[in-house]
Amino acid sequence: MKKLLQGNIAFCEGAIDGGLDAYYAYPITPQNEISAYFAKVLPQKNKVFLQAESELAAINMVFGTALTGKRAVTSSSSPGISLMQEGISYLCGCELPCVIVNVMRGGPGLGNISGSQQDYFQSTRGGGHGDYYTIVLAPFSVKEIYEFAKESFLLAEKYRNPVMIIYDGYLGQMMEVVDTETDDGKLNVIIDKPIDKNWVLDGAKDRQPRKIRSLFMAEGELEQHNWKLKNKYDKIKEKEVRVKFYETHDAEIIIVAFGMSARVSLEAVYKLRREGIKIGLIRPITLWPFPYSEIYEIAKKVKKFVVVEMNLGQMIEDVKLAVNGIAEVYFYGRPGGGLVESEELIQKIKSIK
Protein backbone atom coordinates (compact mmCIF):
# COMPACT_ATOMS: atom_id res chain seq x y z
CA MET A 1 0.00 0.00 0.00
CA LYS A 2 1.24 3.48 -0.87
CA LYS A 3 1.22 6.03 1.92
CA LEU A 4 2.58 9.52 2.43
CA LEU A 5 4.50 9.22 5.69
CA GLN A 6 6.71 11.35 7.86
CA GLY A 7 10.02 9.70 8.80
CA ASN A 8 9.17 9.39 12.48
CA ILE A 9 5.73 7.94 11.72
CA ALA A 10 7.27 5.48 9.28
CA PHE A 11 9.35 4.24 12.18
CA CYS A 12 6.19 3.70 14.25
CA GLU A 13 4.37 1.82 11.48
CA GLY A 14 7.44 -0.30 10.75
CA ALA A 15 7.85 -1.19 14.42
CA ILE A 16 4.18 -2.15 14.72
CA ASP A 17 4.33 -4.27 11.56
CA GLY A 18 7.51 -5.84 12.96
CA GLY A 19 5.68 -6.97 16.09
CA LEU A 20 6.47 -4.40 18.78
CA ASP A 21 5.04 -5.27 22.22
CA ALA A 22 5.94 -2.24 24.31
CA TYR A 23 7.21 1.30 23.91
CA TYR A 24 8.69 3.48 26.66
CA ALA A 25 10.08 6.99 26.20
CA TYR A 26 10.58 10.45 27.62
CA PRO A 27 9.72 13.59 25.61
CA ILE A 28 12.45 15.26 23.55
CA THR A 29 12.53 17.13 20.24
CA PRO A 30 12.83 16.27 17.31
CA GLN A 31 11.17 12.86 17.77
CA ASN A 32 7.97 13.67 19.67
CA GLU A 33 5.81 12.45 16.76
CA ILE A 34 6.84 8.91 17.68
CA SER A 35 5.45 9.07 21.23
CA ALA A 36 2.32 10.89 20.08
CA TYR A 37 1.60 8.25 17.45
CA PHE A 38 2.27 5.29 19.77
CA ALA A 39 0.23 6.88 22.59
CA LYS A 40 -2.76 6.89 20.28
CA VAL A 41 -2.30 3.61 18.44
CA LEU A 42 -0.72 1.12 20.87
CA PRO A 43 -3.59 1.02 23.42
CA GLN A 44 -6.00 0.21 20.55
CA LYS A 45 -3.76 -2.72 19.63
CA ASN A 46 -3.46 -3.94 23.23
CA LYS A 47 0.23 -3.07 23.28
CA VAL A 48 2.04 -1.22 26.03
CA PHE A 49 2.64 2.51 25.81
CA LEU A 50 4.16 4.21 28.83
CA GLN A 51 5.68 7.66 29.20
CA ALA A 52 8.65 7.25 31.51
CA GLU A 53 9.83 9.74 34.13
CA SER A 54 13.25 9.99 32.45
CA GLU A 55 15.36 8.41 29.75
CA LEU A 56 17.04 6.41 32.53
CA ALA A 57 13.69 4.92 33.46
CA ALA A 58 12.69 4.43 29.81
CA ILE A 59 15.75 2.37 28.92
CA ASN A 60 15.38 0.31 32.09
CA MET A 61 11.71 -0.35 31.32
CA VAL A 62 12.96 -1.56 27.94
CA PHE A 63 15.40 -3.77 29.87
CA GLY A 64 12.52 -5.21 31.92
CA THR A 65 10.39 -5.98 28.87
CA ALA A 66 13.33 -7.29 26.85
CA LEU A 67 14.23 -9.84 29.52
CA THR A 68 10.77 -11.39 29.19
CA GLY A 69 11.43 -12.00 25.49
CA LYS A 70 8.89 -9.39 24.40
CA ARG A 71 9.76 -6.75 21.81
CA ALA A 72 10.61 -3.43 23.43
CA VAL A 73 11.36 -0.08 21.82
CA THR A 74 12.46 3.31 23.01
CA SER A 75 13.15 6.45 21.05
CA SER A 76 14.92 9.65 21.91
CA SER A 77 17.24 12.31 20.57
CA SER A 78 20.91 12.88 21.31
CA PRO A 79 20.89 14.24 24.91
CA GLY A 80 18.36 11.58 25.89
CA ILE A 81 20.43 8.85 24.28
CA SER A 82 23.41 10.05 26.34
CA LEU A 83 21.34 9.42 29.47
CA MET A 84 20.48 5.92 28.26
CA GLN A 85 24.07 4.81 27.83
CA GLU A 86 24.26 3.09 31.22
CA GLY A 87 21.19 1.05 30.34
CA ILE A 88 22.51 0.20 26.89
CA SER A 89 25.73 -1.09 28.44
CA TYR A 90 23.65 -3.32 30.76
CA LEU A 91 21.47 -4.51 27.85
CA CYS A 92 24.63 -5.50 25.95
CA GLY A 93 26.22 -7.10 29.01
CA CYS A 94 23.04 -9.09 29.69
CA GLU A 95 22.57 -9.78 25.95
CA LEU A 96 19.03 -8.49 25.74
CA PRO A 97 17.50 -7.68 22.34
CA CYS A 98 15.68 -4.38 21.88
CA VAL A 99 15.40 -1.48 19.47
CA ILE A 100 16.57 2.06 20.24
CA VAL A 101 15.98 5.01 17.93
CA ASN A 102 18.12 8.13 17.99
CA VAL A 103 16.71 11.02 15.97
CA MET A 104 19.93 13.00 16.18
CA ARG A 105 20.10 16.70 16.95
CA GLY A 106 22.99 19.14 17.38
CA GLY A 107 25.30 19.06 20.37
CA PRO A 108 27.32 19.04 22.56
CA GLY A 109 25.23 19.75 25.64
CA LEU A 110 21.73 20.94 24.98
CA GLY A 111 22.88 22.01 21.48
CA ASN A 112 19.86 22.69 19.34
CA ILE A 113 16.92 20.80 17.92
CA SER A 114 18.09 20.80 14.33
CA GLY A 115 19.09 17.66 12.46
CA SER A 116 22.62 16.37 12.82
CA GLN A 117 24.85 13.30 12.59
CA GLN A 118 26.90 14.16 15.64
CA ASP A 119 26.32 10.89 17.47
CA TYR A 120 28.28 8.68 15.07
CA PHE A 121 31.05 8.06 17.60
CA GLN A 122 28.61 7.50 20.46
CA SER A 123 26.57 5.00 18.43
CA THR A 124 29.36 3.00 16.82
CA ARG A 125 31.74 2.83 19.78
CA GLY A 126 29.32 1.36 22.28
CA GLY A 127 28.64 4.69 23.95
CA GLY A 128 28.67 3.51 27.55
CA HIS A 129 31.23 1.67 29.67
CA GLY A 130 32.77 -1.65 28.71
CA ASP A 131 33.78 -3.58 25.61
CA TYR A 132 30.58 -3.83 23.59
CA TYR A 133 28.80 -2.83 20.39
CA THR A 134 25.26 -2.20 19.30
CA ILE A 135 24.17 -2.91 15.74
CA VAL A 136 23.72 0.54 14.16
CA LEU A 137 21.43 1.09 11.18
CA ALA A 138 21.42 4.37 9.24
CA PRO A 139 18.39 4.74 6.96
CA PHE A 140 18.44 7.47 4.29
CA SER A 141 14.81 7.51 3.21
CA VAL A 142 11.41 7.28 4.83
CA LYS A 143 10.95 3.87 3.21
CA GLU A 144 14.18 2.64 4.76
CA ILE A 145 13.11 3.92 8.18
CA TYR A 146 9.94 1.83 7.80
CA GLU A 147 11.74 -1.33 6.63
CA PHE A 148 14.58 -1.08 9.16
CA ALA A 149 12.12 -0.60 12.01
CA LYS A 150 10.16 -3.64 10.83
CA GLU A 151 13.18 -5.97 10.58
CA SER A 152 15.22 -4.62 13.46
CA PHE A 153 13.61 -6.98 16.02
CA LEU A 154 14.77 -9.99 14.01
CA LEU A 155 18.30 -8.66 13.91
CA ALA A 156 18.22 -7.90 17.64
CA GLU A 157 16.82 -11.33 18.53
CA LYS A 158 19.09 -13.24 16.19
CA TYR A 159 22.12 -11.94 18.09
CA ARG A 160 20.54 -11.11 21.47
CA ASN A 161 21.86 -7.58 21.09
CA PRO A 162 20.35 -4.08 21.02
CA VAL A 163 19.86 -2.52 17.60
CA MET A 164 20.09 1.24 17.18
CA ILE A 165 18.42 3.04 14.31
CA ILE A 166 19.91 6.49 13.91
CA TYR A 167 18.83 9.26 11.62
CA ASP A 168 18.93 13.04 11.77
CA GLY A 169 16.06 15.33 12.66
CA TYR A 170 15.60 16.32 9.01
CA LEU A 171 14.86 12.75 7.94
CA GLY A 172 12.59 12.32 10.95
CA GLN A 173 10.49 15.32 9.95
CA MET A 174 10.54 14.76 6.20
CA MET A 175 7.55 13.24 4.33
CA GLU A 176 7.84 10.78 1.46
CA VAL A 177 5.71 8.20 -0.27
CA VAL A 178 6.23 4.75 1.21
CA ASP A 179 5.07 1.71 -0.73
CA THR A 180 4.96 -1.16 1.76
CA GLU A 181 4.50 -3.70 -1.07
CA THR A 182 7.88 -3.09 -2.71
CA ASP A 183 11.17 -4.65 -1.66
CA ASP A 184 13.40 -1.58 -1.78
CA GLY A 185 14.98 -0.64 1.51
CA LYS A 186 14.58 -4.08 3.06
CA LEU A 187 17.39 -5.38 5.26
CA ASN A 188 16.58 -8.99 4.32
CA VAL A 189 17.64 -10.34 7.69
CA ILE A 190 18.31 -14.06 7.35
CA ILE A 191 16.98 -16.22 10.16
CA ASP A 192 18.71 -19.51 9.40
CA LYS A 193 17.77 -21.29 12.61
CA PRO A 194 14.92 -20.84 15.11
CA ILE A 195 15.55 -17.95 17.49
CA ASP A 196 16.50 -19.30 20.91
CA LYS A 197 14.23 -18.04 23.68
CA ASN A 198 15.40 -20.43 26.38
CA TRP A 199 16.81 -17.57 28.39
CA VAL A 200 13.76 -15.37 28.98
CA LEU A 201 12.38 -14.76 32.46
CA ASP A 202 8.66 -15.48 32.53
CA GLY A 203 8.34 -17.53 35.70
CA ALA A 204 10.10 -20.84 36.40
CA LYS A 205 7.18 -23.06 35.48
CA ASP A 206 8.21 -26.63 34.59
CA ARG A 207 11.83 -25.57 34.25
CA GLN A 208 14.84 -24.53 36.31
CA PRO A 209 14.92 -20.89 37.44
CA ARG A 210 16.85 -18.51 35.21
CA LYS A 211 18.83 -15.38 35.90
CA ILE A 212 19.75 -12.37 33.81
CA ARG A 213 23.03 -10.76 34.76
CA SER A 214 26.07 -8.87 33.56
CA LEU A 215 27.95 -9.37 36.83
CA PHE A 216 30.64 -12.03 36.67
CA MET A 217 32.74 -12.02 39.81
CA ALA A 218 34.36 -15.46 39.74
CA GLU A 219 38.00 -15.64 38.65
CA GLY A 220 38.20 -15.40 34.85
CA GLU A 221 34.42 -15.49 34.42
CA LEU A 222 34.05 -11.97 33.03
CA GLU A 223 36.94 -12.49 30.64
CA GLN A 224 35.15 -15.57 29.30
CA HIS A 225 31.94 -13.56 28.97
CA ASN A 226 33.81 -10.84 27.05
CA TRP A 227 35.36 -13.41 24.69
CA LYS A 228 31.90 -14.87 24.13
CA LEU A 229 30.60 -11.40 23.25
CA LYS A 230 33.53 -10.88 20.90
CA ASN A 231 32.70 -14.09 19.03
CA LYS A 232 29.19 -12.76 18.59
CA TYR A 233 30.44 -9.37 17.38
CA ASP A 234 32.78 -11.13 14.91
CA LYS A 235 29.84 -13.10 13.55
CA ILE A 236 27.81 -9.89 13.15
CA LYS A 237 30.75 -8.27 11.34
CA GLU A 238 30.96 -11.25 9.03
CA LYS A 239 27.23 -11.59 8.28
CA GLU A 240 25.45 -8.30 8.71
CA VAL A 241 27.35 -5.54 6.91
CA ARG A 242 25.02 -3.60 4.63
CA VAL A 243 26.39 -1.02 2.18
CA LYS A 244 25.18 0.51 -1.09
CA PHE A 245 27.24 1.62 -4.06
CA TYR A 246 26.21 4.28 -6.53
CA GLU A 247 28.12 4.94 -9.77
CA THR A 248 31.30 3.41 -8.37
CA HIS A 249 32.09 1.16 -11.37
CA ASP A 250 34.30 3.67 -13.20
CA ALA A 251 34.66 6.31 -10.48
CA GLU A 252 37.91 8.20 -9.98
CA ILE A 253 36.69 9.90 -6.86
CA ILE A 254 34.40 8.42 -4.21
CA ILE A 255 32.14 10.07 -1.67
CA VAL A 256 31.36 8.15 1.53
CA ALA A 257 28.25 9.34 3.36
CA PHE A 258 25.29 7.95 5.34
CA GLY A 259 21.74 9.08 6.05
CA MET A 260 20.79 12.61 4.98
CA SER A 261 24.36 13.42 3.91
CA ALA A 262 24.18 10.54 1.45
CA ARG A 263 21.04 12.01 -0.15
CA VAL A 264 22.72 15.36 -0.63
CA SER A 265 25.86 13.61 -1.88
CA LEU A 266 23.86 11.62 -4.41
CA GLU A 267 22.54 14.87 -5.87
CA ALA A 268 26.14 16.11 -6.17
CA VAL A 269 27.19 12.83 -7.82
CA TYR A 270 24.53 13.11 -10.54
CA LYS A 271 25.29 16.81 -11.17
CA LEU A 272 29.05 16.15 -11.42
CA ARG A 273 28.50 13.14 -13.68
CA ARG A 274 26.65 15.44 -16.11
CA GLU A 275 29.80 17.58 -16.15
CA GLY A 276 31.82 14.50 -17.04
CA ILE A 277 33.42 14.00 -13.64
CA LYS A 278 33.64 10.29 -12.82
CA ILE A 279 32.40 10.24 -9.25
CA GLY A 280 30.59 7.66 -7.15
CA LEU A 281 29.08 7.22 -3.70
CA ILE A 282 29.48 4.54 -1.05
CA ARG A 283 26.68 4.58 1.50
CA PRO A 284 27.22 2.51 4.64
CA ILE A 285 23.81 1.32 5.86
CA THR A 286 25.21 -0.47 8.89
CA LEU A 287 27.51 1.99 10.67
CA TRP A 288 28.42 -0.84 12.99
CA PRO A 289 29.45 -3.26 11.62
CA PHE A 290 31.23 -0.86 9.25
CA PRO A 291 31.97 -1.91 5.63
CA TYR A 292 35.76 -1.74 6.01
CA SER A 293 36.69 -4.40 3.47
CA GLU A 294 34.12 -3.20 0.90
CA ILE A 295 35.67 0.28 1.01
CA TYR A 296 39.22 -1.11 0.98
CA GLU A 297 38.48 -3.09 -2.22
CA ILE A 298 37.46 0.13 -3.97
CA ALA A 299 40.43 2.02 -2.51
CA LYS A 300 42.70 -0.37 -4.41
CA LYS A 301 41.54 1.39 -7.61
CA VAL A 302 40.24 4.79 -6.50
CA LYS A 303 42.74 7.11 -4.86
CA LYS A 304 40.54 10.00 -3.69
CA PHE A 305 37.78 9.73 -1.09
CA VAL A 306 35.61 12.51 0.29
CA VAL A 307 33.68 11.84 3.49
CA VAL A 308 30.53 13.93 3.92
CA GLU A 309 28.93 14.20 7.35
CA MET A 310 26.74 16.56 9.34
CA ASN A 311 29.38 16.84 12.06
CA LEU A 312 33.04 17.82 12.40
CA GLY A 313 34.26 14.50 10.98
CA GLN A 314 33.52 11.27 12.80
CA MET A 315 32.89 8.52 10.23
CA ILE A 316 36.01 9.78 8.45
CA GLU A 317 38.04 7.89 11.05
CA ASP A 318 36.44 4.61 9.95
CA VAL A 319 36.95 5.47 6.28
CA LYS A 320 40.64 6.14 7.00
CA LEU A 321 40.86 2.81 8.82
CA ALA A 322 39.17 1.19 5.81
CA VAL A 323 41.47 2.64 3.12
CA ASN A 324 44.45 1.96 5.39
CA GLY A 325 46.69 4.59 3.82
CA ILE A 326 46.33 3.56 0.18
CA ALA A 327 44.06 6.49 -0.77
CA GLU A 328 43.68 10.14 0.21
CA VAL A 329 40.66 10.96 2.40
CA TYR A 330 39.13 14.45 2.38
CA PHE A 331 36.29 15.85 4.43
CA TYR A 332 33.30 18.07 3.89
CA GLY A 333 30.87 18.57 6.71
CA ARG A 334 28.77 20.93 8.76
CA PRO A 335 28.21 20.61 12.51
CA GLY A 336 25.64 22.12 14.84
CA GLY A 337 22.52 21.24 12.91
CA GLY A 338 23.65 22.67 9.56
CA LEU A 339 22.54 20.71 6.50
CA VAL A 340 25.29 19.84 4.03
CA GLU A 341 24.65 21.40 0.62
CA SER A 342 25.27 19.84 -2.77
CA GLU A 343 26.70 23.07 -4.25
CA GLU A 344 29.26 23.39 -1.44
CA LEU A 345 30.11 19.73 -1.85
CA ILE A 346 30.55 20.17 -5.63
CA GLN A 347 32.97 23.07 -5.02
CA LYS A 348 34.88 20.96 -2.49
CA ILE A 349 35.19 18.09 -4.97
CA LYS A 350 36.32 20.38 -7.77
CA SER A 351 38.96 21.87 -5.46
CA ILE A 352 40.57 18.48 -4.78
CA LYS A 353 40.11 16.99 -8.26
Partner 1 sequence: MQPTKFVKPKSLQDNYHSYCPGCGHGIVHRLIAEVVDELNIREKTIGVAPVGCAVFAYDYWNFDVTEAAHGRPPAVATGIKRVLPDRIVFTYQGDGDLAAIGTAEIVHAANRGENISVFFINNTVYGMTSGQMAPTTIVGQKTLTTPYGREISRDGYPLKVCELLSVLDGVRFVARAALTSPKNVLLAKLYIRKSFLTQIENKGFSIVEILSMCPTGVNMTPIETLKWVDTELVKYFPLGILKDV
* Residues 6+ positions from 196 with CB-CB distance below 8 Å: none
- Considering the rule CB under 8 A, would residue 64 count as an interface residue with partner 1? yes
Binding span for partner 1 by CB under 8 A among 61-69, 189-197, 229-237, 299-307: 61-69
Which of 283, 253, 276 is CA-nearest to residue 345? 253
Rounded to whole angstroms, the Cα distance separating 270 from 292 reads 25
- Considering the rule CB under 8 A, would residue 243 count as an interface residue with partner 1? no
- Considering the rule CB under 8 A, would residue 57 count as an interface residue with partner 1? yes
Peptide bond into 162 cis (omega under 30): no
**Which of 193, 194, 211, 351 touches partner 1 (CB under 8 A)?**
211
- Considering the rule CB under 8 A, would residue 202 count as an interface residue with partner 1? yes
- Considering the rule CB under 8 A, would residue 119 count as an interface residue with partner 1? no
* Residues 6+ positions from 73 with CB-CB distance below 8 Å: 15, 20, 22, 23, 24, 62, 98, 99, 100, 101
Instruction: Compare residues 72 and 345 and give the one whose CB is closer to partner 1.
Output: 72
Cα R_g (the chain), whole angstroms = 20
**Which of 61, 142, 165, 255 touches partner 1 (CB under 8 A)?**
61
**Which of 4, 110, 177, 201 touches partner 1 (CB under 8 A)?**
201
β-strands 22-25, 72-76 pairing: parallel
- Considering the rule CB under 8 A, would residue 50 count as an interface residue with partner 1? yes
**Which of 13, 21, 95, 318 touches partner 1 (CB under 8 A)?**
21
Rounded to whole angstroms, the Cα distance separating 249 from 170 reads 30
- Considering the rule CB under 8 A, would residue 156 count as an interface residue with partner 1? no
Binding span for partner 1 by CB under 8 A among 56-64, 146-154, 230-238, 311-319: 56-64
Binding span for partner 1 by CB under 8 A among 113-121, 204-212, 258-266, 280-288: 204-212
- Considering the rule CB under 8 A, would residue 213 count as an interface residue with partner 1? yes
- Considering the rule CB under 8 A, would residue 45 count as an interface residue with partner 1? no
Question: What are the angstrom distances between the C-alpha of 290 and each of 122, 124, 201, 266?
Answer: 14, 9, 33, 20
- Considering the rule CB under 8 A, would residue 101 count as an interface residue with partner 1? no
- Considering the rule CB under 8 A, would residue 345 count as an interface residue with partner 1? no
- Considering the rule CB under 8 A, would residue 70 count as an interface residue with partner 1? yes
- Considering the rule CB under 8 A, would residue 46 count as an interface residue with partner 1? no
Binding span for partner 1 by CB under 8 A among 186-194, 201-209, 227-235, 310-318: 201-209
Instruction: Compare residues 42 and 298 and give the one whose CB is closer to partner 1.
Output: 42
- Considering the rule CB under 8 A, would residue 63 count as an interface residue with partner 1? yes
Size of the site for partner 1 (CB under 8 A): 39
- The minimum distance between CB 122 and partner 1, in angstroms, equals 18
* Residues 6+ positions from 197 with CB-CB distance below 8 Å: 69
Is the four-CA dihedral 163, 167, 169, 173 of positive or negative sign?
negative
DSSP helix/strand/coil, 236? helix
- Considering the rule CB under 8 A, would residue 246 count as an interface residue with partner 1? no
Instruction: Compare residues 52 and 189 and give the one whose CB is closer to partner 1.
Output: 52
Rounded to whole angstroms, the Cα distance separating 338 from 222 reads 43
Is the four-CA dihedral 88, 91, 92, 94 of positive or negative sign?
positive
Instruction: Compare residues 32 and 68 and give the one whose CB is closer to partner 1.
Output: 68
* Residues 6+ positions from 90 with CB-CB distance below 8 Å: 63, 214
Burial annotation 183-192 (CB, 10 A radius, 16+ → b, else e): eebebebeee
Residue numbers at the binding site for partner 1 (CB under 8 A): 21-22, 24, 48, 50, 52-54, 56-58, 60-68, 70, 72, 86-87, 90, 94, 201-206, 209-215
